[in-house]
Structure 1
Amino acid sequence: MNPFQQSKFYLVEHLHLARDALHIYVALIVLFGSCILFGWRVHQWKPWLLVLLAALVGEVLDIRGMPGPFESAIGRENVKDILNTMAVPTMLLIAARYTNLFTRPQATTEAAQDSRDEAQVPAAPLGSERDVL
């Protein structure tokens, strides 16, 4: 067993996670970490592609750690792991690109202007209580 697989088993055992959950957490760490580190946005392809690259590299390391020839080790579990890793980042990419789910509501110019002014008090007739300084 290679050090990569040993570290995966260590995390699964000590964090009490399922292997599939570990894939999802790593995908989210890579996605949001790359956005924070490189200033990317979730709606861009770059963080999604970095997650895909990390998933592919992880599966290659898993396959290389398996006994037997490299080509015969590729199976359904590896494909499932890649799909599982990419599911949440793909949903976030689609939601960020094609919905208003992650956009801030923009204030109208009039409302934005009013918010910067001092509080407005409606005018009172002359001689009333409000007219006294």
Structure 2
Amino acid sequence: MSTSMLYEWCTAFLQWTQLSHDALLIYLGALLFFLIAFFHQRQLKSNYAVWAVILAAVAFELFGARHDILDRGYWKVGSSLRDIVNMILMPLLIWLMAKYRVWKG
């Protein structure tokens, strides 16, 4: 499967859902965090869920960097860092709030 075909599918999915690229990354990070946290014993305090989101964010951006370098000839580092932060921020905040018991119940 070529990278151009993957980007065509991604663009078609973004148009179908009418989401921006940033919103898609935020939702994808939260969905991945909640899915892994659901199956792990510690649930929202799960270290595995946070690390899975971090690794997925870095993997997606390395794939995007490869696409940038091959198509444009340079890597947009600032844009990649923003995408990584967008994907990691909400799961990290939820994990920190659960770990330090912000919600007492």
Unaligned stretches of 5+ residues in structure 1: 106-133
- Contact 1:27/1:89 (8 A) holds in 2: yes
Give how far 1:44 is off.
2.4
- Residue pair 1:5, 1:65 contacting (<8 A) in 2 also: no
Structure-1-length-normalised TM-score: 0.67
Q: 2:101 aligns with which of 84, 96, 99?
A: 99
Aligned length: 101
Query: Which residue type is aligned with residue 85 of structure 2?
Result: L
Q: Quote the residue 1:17 is aligned against.
A: 19
Aligned to 1:82: 84
Deviation at 1:86, TM superposition (A): 0.7
Compared CA separation, residues 61 and 30, structure 1 to 2 (3 A): same
Aligned pairs for 1:122-133 (under 5 A) are: none
Equivalent residue of 2:44, what SS?
coil
Letter in 2 for 1:54: A
Matches within 5 A, 1:56-67: 56-66=58-68, 67=71
Corresponding position: 1:43 with 2:45:
yes
Counterpart amino acid of residue 17 in structure 2: L
* Paired residues of 1:23 and 1:84 also in contact (CA < 8 A): yes
Whether contact under 8 Å (2:45, 2:99) holds in the other structure is: yes
What letter corresponds to residue 77 of structure 1 in structure 2?
A: S
RMSD: 1.9
Give how far 1:39 is off. Answer: 4.0
Counterpart amino acid of 2:9? S
Rounded to whole Å, the distance in 2 between the matches of 1:19 and 1:83 is: 13
**In the alignment, is the contact (CA less than 8 A) between 1:34 and 1:40 conserved in 2?**
no
